[in-house]
Amino acid sequence: MRAVQVVGYHEKLQMTDVPEPELQGPLDVIVKIGAAGVCRTDLHVLEGQWAEKSHVELPYTIGHENAGWVHQVGEAVTNVAVGDKVILHPLLTCGLCRACRLGDDVHCENNQFPGIDTHGGYADYLRTSARSCVKLDDSLEPADVAALADAGLTAQHAAAKAAKLLRPGEVCLIVGAGGLGHIGIQCMRAMSSATLVVIDRNPEALALAVDLGADHTILADGSHVEQLLELTGGHGAQAILDFVGEGGATSENVRMLRRAGFYYVIGYGENINVATIDVISNEINFIGNLVGTYADLQDLMALAAQGKVTLHTQQYALADFQQAIDDLDAGKVRGRAILIP
């Protein structure tokens, strides 16, 4: 089968011919990939940012946002059957460790992460686990939702945390209305009555944010910090969902955060440099967000089936993987890039 693989860091991906995956355990599921999302994390993988964390052996197949149709199932699989449409939770989890038992399976002690530390879904087929498969509503197709498997799930995970803390009328600032941010806007709109303010440097992204339910938008033109503070009477936002995390965004965001506010780190790429006395005196709450749980993905699919969360995508054939990567890196993708085998 075809597979797009990482052959070396700081090198271009290569499409190769590899054997189709086979069932190895009773809970294994082989999925025929219907769509695979192209994520900024894929760029970070190629840059070597994940090399020390993943310890993956090269070459390996990239791609961690996957949806498709069940092709084969192990003898103990009961929750899905051949032909079912599914979206895949990005982690393979054990179900037995303390984190899994507590429902916090994103921190499974024995997890594997297809596309990061084992073979992923930029391919015709992928081996996964029954524990990772979420059946899709009849109204949804794999290409509609594939990128929700990680980008959407990460946005949902952060938005769900923030929604539990935000009161009606409090300001939630969403930084970045791109691939993740446009999903985060919809999740927050569906789960919270907070006032949503969106900052982005792209006017087209801000126009989309308004269509998706943003109450206010601010162009990141150098005066955006002052504009946000003016909008909030000088207090700042009660919660910030940072979908950028690089290019100086973190230092600006801290300036826009209300005292005792919550800063949800979602995008990444730079360090947060804040004096500890400021963290204490302003009682800043920094909260990391690693993908999301299986239950989060179920909730997200419910929102998708209700039409409350939709993906804006640009589709590419699997053979055009390099164009998709280049477009994403150049900032030419509005919404999410999707590879279709």
Domain CATH for 213: 3.40.50.720
State residue 50's pLDDT score: 84
Tokens found for residue 183:
């999903």
Supply the range of the domain harboring residue 207. Answer: 153-288
- Same domain for 52 and 80? yes
3-state secondary structure of 36: strand
Contact 341, 318 (CB under 8 A): yes
Q: How confident is the model at residue 139 (pLDDT cuts 50, 70, 90)?
A: very high
Cα 129 to Cα 31: distance, rounded to the nearest angstrom:
10
State residue 55's pLDDT score: 86
- Same domain for 63 and 167? no
Give alpha helix (H) positions in the chain: 40-46, 51-54, 98-101, 142-145, 151-165, 181-191, 203-211, 224-231, 249-255, 276-281, 294-305, 321-329
pLDDT greater than 90 at residue 52: no
Tokens found for residue 87:
């979206």
Supply angle C-alpha 254, 259, 262, rounded to 5: 65
State residue 49's pLDDT score: 85
> In total, how many domains does the chain have?
2
State residue 178's pLDDT score: 85
Report pTM: 0.90
213's CB contacts (< 8 A; 6+ apart) are: 185, 186, 189, 196
Q: How confident is the model at residue 333 (pLDDT cuts 50, 70, 90)?
A: confident
Q: Mean pLDDT over all residues of the chain?
A: 95
- Same domain for 118 and 13? yes
State residue 221's pLDDT score: 95
Cα 263 to Cα 252: distance, rounded to the nearest angstrom:
12
Reading phi first (left if > 0) and then psi (alpha if -120 to 50, else beta), residue 126 is in beta
The arithmetic mean of pLDDT across residues 17-21, rounded, is 97
Share of the chain above pLDDT 90, in %: 89
- Same domain for 61 and 187? no
Residues 167-190: b if buried by 16+ CB within 10 A, e if exposed? eeebbbbbbbbbbbbbbbbbbbbb
pLDDT greater than 90 at residue 222: yes
- Same domain for 141 and 168? no
Least confident piece of the model among 127-131, 237-241, 308-312: 308-312
- Same domain for 185 and 209? yes
**Pick from 70, 139, 154, 104: nearest CA to 293:** 104
CB atoms within 10 A of CB 213: 14
More confident residue, 86 or 313: 86
- Same domain for 172 and 279? yes
- Same domain for 102 and 164? no
Count of residues making up the chain: 341
pLDDT greater than 90 at residue 161: yes
Tens of pLDDT, residue by residue over 229-264, are 999 999 999 999 999 999 999 999 999 999 999 999
- Same domain for 228 and 280? yes
Cα 133 to Cα 85: distance, rounded to the nearest angstrom:
9
- Same domain for 22 and 110? yes
- Same domain for 259 and 309? no
Which CATH number belongs to the domain containing residue 35 in this structure?
A: 3.90.180.10
Cα 132 to Cα 64: distance, rounded to the nearest angstrom:
12
3-state secondary structure of 324: helix
State residue 136's pLDDT score: 97
Tokens found for residue 13:
């991906």
What beta strand segments (E) does 44-186 contain? 60-61, 66-73, 85-88, 125-129, 133-135, 171-175
The arithmetic mean of pLDDT across residues 287-303, rounded, is 95
- Same domain for 239 and 133? no
pLDDT greater than 80 at residue 334: no
The arithmetic mean of pLDDT across residues 61-73, rounded, is 97
- One-letter amino acid at 281 equals S
Tokens found for residue 85:
């449409």
